[in-house]
Amino acid sequence: MSEYEFLTASEPFSLRYEKLKELIAGAQRIVFFGGAGVSTGSGIPDFRSKNGLYYNMPEEYGEVEPEYMLSHKCLYTQPELFYTFYRAVMDVRSYKPNAVHKYLAKLEKQGKMEAVVTQNIDMLHEAAGTMKLFKIHGTIAKNHCCSCGKVWGKDYIFDDTDPIPRCACGGMVRPNVVLYGEPLPPDQFRGAKEAIWKADLLIVCGTSLTVEPAAGLVSEYNGENMVIINEQPTKYDQWADVVFHEDMNEIFGKLKEMEDDI
């Protein structure tokens, strides 16, 4: 048993960082569970932090809640509002992977990563090279027609100039993302659950663990060690072997640089 067991966020950073390196080195089936905070290092705002979307809404939307504008109800009852907002805040095609995405892809190449489970829809894990990926909130990479089911590429909705994007058949084209009020894709959720169950190290990063049912996946973990990296405390901090409330990009940047020097 390590001398650094159960290090809270109040312990010296150096001890926690050494513990993280030790856990990664000793693991064979790592699962990374990431939220919106993972992509902030690429310049994409998250949702609930002080710099996030919920606290910095464009003035033209007044008091309308962002949850509503990204909801199933808004899409089908006020589609023009939905697409105006979606195009304004969800077009992240120009952003690039950061240190977190790149380090995880490296772990996969080393054969240590069982899977990455992401709540993000931004395609940055794919761009970094990760292959074993469960996208439990969908992706902007694809869109589909609500009438005939035809699949359209990632650019179709963002580049279309019509207020409501239409398929060749005339049906409305919607993004392949999970909106508020919709269930998670069963295949992705099931795969994520199975991967977490098999893991011997779970790294939870950039998520407040407040949105269900995605957050409940953490409770499925039955492995030996868990690490939580998030700027704010989470309800699962007490169960983690080591907790970081520091900038994840600095942590993963150090890990990647260390391996690059080997």
pLDDT in tens, 98-133: 999 999 999 999 999 999 999 999 999 999 999 999
Give the domain range for residue 224: 1-43+97-137+184-262
Secondary structure (3-state) at 134:
strand
- Whether residue 62 is contained in a domain is answered as no
Q: pLDDT averaged over the chain?
A: 90
Query: According to the model, what pLDDT value does residue 256 have?
Result: 72
pLDDT in tens, 34-71: 999 999 999 998 776 666 666 666 666 667 788 899 99
The dihedrals phi and psi of 113, each to the nearest 5 degrees, come to -100, 115
Query: Residue 43 burial by CB count (10 A; 0-12/13-18/19+): exposed, middle or buried?
Result: exposed
- Whether residue 103 is contained in a domain is answered as yes
Residue % of the chain over a pLDDT of 90: 75
Annotated active-site residue 137? The verdict is yes
CATH number at residue 204: 3.40.50.1220
Is a pLDDT exceeding 60 seen at residue 97?
A: yes
Query: According to the model, what pLDDT value does residue 51 have?
Result: 63
- Give the distance, in angstroms, between the CA of residue 100 and the centroid of all CA atoms in the same chain: 11
| Res. 4 pLDDT band, cuts 50 70 90 | very low
Task: Write out the two tokens for 205.
Answer: 């990063």
What domain count does the chain have?
1
- Whether residue 169 is contained in a domain is answered as no
- Whether residue 57 is contained in a domain is answered as no
Model-level pTM?
0.90
**Residue of 72, 101, 125, 137 marked catalytic:** 137
- Whether residue 170 is contained in a domain is answered as no
CA distances from 10 to 15, 77, 164, 246 (A): 11, 48, 50, 11
Within 8 A by CB and 6+ apart from 166, the residues are 172, 173
